[in-house]
C-alpha cells in the first residue's frame, strides 16, 4: 500500500502525476485555504504533506497527527512550521532553498527601481488622463546608480541582490547575524559589514532579505524608520512582520522616508488597507519567486524532499536532521 499524502494547495498537474507514482495523493486543485480544523481533518492518517506558507503546522495540530512523518514546505521560509514541535514528534521538515535565489534577486531590483523612480505612481497618473505636457519636475525620483545600497539579511538571496549592484556602480553595506567571509564580501560587490543603525543612517536604498522569526519581528519599526534618510527607499521582499506596517504607513504618509516597495505584508493577504491610500508605495502580492521556471523548480524540489523522506532516504533540504533515521 502506498503512503498517503496531502498536497495542501493547488500545484502544477505534473507534480501531482509525479507524486502519484509514489503515494496515494489527495490534492487541493480547488486551492481552498484550509482552516486549522479543516487542515487537521485532511491530514488525519496522512504520512506526508506538501504545503505552502498558508498551512500552519503548530504543536497543537502536530500532536493530533501521529501518522505524519514528513512536511515538505514549498518555500524557503518556514515560519509556518513549528520546527521544534516537528522535531519533538519525529516529523521531518524541509524547504526549497537555492532554486529561487536568482529570480527573487531579480525581483528585488524590479521593486527597487519601480520604487525609486516612482513607476507605479506615474503610471496611475498617466492612466487617469492627467498627462498633457512634459514638466521638468514631474515625478522626480532617486538615482540608483552611484547610490549606497543597504541589505539587511545577507544570505544567498541577499548576496545575489548585491552582485547585481555592480552594474549600477553602487556602494554596498550590509547587516547580518554573522559577517560573511572576505571572499563572499568581495563577490557581493565588495560589501561592507556594518551595524544595523549605521546601515539605516547611510543607505540610500534599503532592501530586507532576512528570514522571519520572533527575533526578527519588527526589525524595522518607527525608531528604525526615523534613522533613515528622508530621501531613502525601503524594499521588503522577505516576510511580513519584519516591518511594522503601521509604523511604515505613518512614515510614508509623513514623508519620513521617500517611498517603499513591498511584496510581503503583515497578516497577508489581508494587508493593511491604508497602504492603498498612499502614492509613495509600490505593492505586489508576494510574487518575488513567481517566474514559471522557478515555481516549477520549487514544486519539484518540494516533491524531491517528500519522495526521499517517505522512502527512508534523507531529504535533500532537511531542516531538522536530528529526526532522520535511515
Q: Which residues are catalytic?
A: 239, 268, 286
Distance CA 98, CA 108 (A): 16
CA distance 37 to 114: 41
What would the grid cell of residue 288 be? 518575488
Alpha carbons 12 and 84: distance in angstroms, whole number:
30
Residue with cell 505534473: 14
Which strand ranges, in their side-by-side order, compose the sheet holding 259-262? 192-193, 171-175, 148-152, 205-208, 233-236, 259-262, 281-283
Q: Looking at 100-160, which runs of residues are DSSP E strands? A: 148-152
Supply angle C-alpha 162, 165, 168, rounded to 5: 170
Grid cell 555592480 is found at: 166
Q: How far apart are CA 89 and CA 57, in angstroms?
A: 12
Please list, in sequence order, all residues whose beta carbon lies within 8 angstroms of the beta carbon of residue 86, skipping any fewer than 6 positions away.
57, 62, 71, 92, 93, 320, 323
Amino acid at each position: 500500500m502506498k503512503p498517503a499524502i496531502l498536497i495542501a494547495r493547488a500545484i502544477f498537474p505534473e507534480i501531482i502525476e509525479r507524486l502519484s507514482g509514489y503515494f496515494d495523493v489527495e490534492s487541493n486543485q480547488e486551492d481552498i485555504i484550509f482552516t486549522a480544523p479543516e487542515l487537521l481533518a485532511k491530514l488525519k492518517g496522512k504520512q506526508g504533506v506538501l504545503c505552502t506558507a498558508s498551512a500552519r503546522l503548530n504543536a497543537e495540530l502536530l500532536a493530533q497527527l501521529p501518522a505524519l512523518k514528513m512536511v515538505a514546505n514549498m518555500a524557503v521560509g518556514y515560519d509556518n512550521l513549528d520546527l521544534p514541535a516537528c522535531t519533538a514528534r519525529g516529523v521531518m521538515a524541509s524547504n526549497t532553498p537555492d532554486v529561487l535565489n536568482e529570480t527573487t534577486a531579480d525581483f528585488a531590483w524590479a521593486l527597487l527601481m519601480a520604487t525609486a523612480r516612482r513607476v507605479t505612481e506615474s503610471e496611475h497618473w498617466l492612466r487617469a488622463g492627467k498627462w498633457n505636457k512634459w514638466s521638468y519636475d514631474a515625478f522626480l525620483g532617486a538615482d540608483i546608480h552611484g547610490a549606497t545600497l543597504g541589505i539587511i539579511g545577507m544570505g544567498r538571496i541577499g548576496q545575489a541582490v548585491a552582485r547585481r549592484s555592480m552594474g549600477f556602480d553602487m556602494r554596498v553595506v550590509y547587516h547580518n547575524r554573522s559577517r560573511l567571509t572576505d571572499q563572499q564580501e568581495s563577490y557581493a560587490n565588495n560589501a561592507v559589514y556594518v551595524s544595523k543603525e549605521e546601515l539605516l543612517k547611510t543607505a540610500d536604498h534599503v532592501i530586507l532579505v532576512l528570514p522571519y522569526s520572533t527575533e526578527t519581528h519588527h526589525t524595522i519599526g518607527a525608531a528604525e524608520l526615523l534613522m533613515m534618510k528622508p530621501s531613502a527607499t525601503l524594499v521588503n521582499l522577505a516576510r511580513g512582520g519584519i516591518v511594522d506596517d503601521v509604523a511604515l504607513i505613518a512614515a510614508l504618509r509623513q514623508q519620513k522616508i521617500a517611498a517603499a516597495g513591498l511584496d510581503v505584508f503583515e497578516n497577508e493577504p489581508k494587508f493593511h488597507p491604508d497602504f492603498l491610500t498612499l502614492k509613495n508605495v509600490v505593492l505586489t502580492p508576494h510574487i518575488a519567486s513567481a517566474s514559471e521556471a522557478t515555481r516549477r523548480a520549487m514544486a519539484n524540489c518540494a516533491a524531491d524532499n517528500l519522495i526521499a523522506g517517505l522512502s527512508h532516504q534523507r531529504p535533500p533540504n532537511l531542516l531538522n536532521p536530528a529526526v532522520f533515521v535511515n
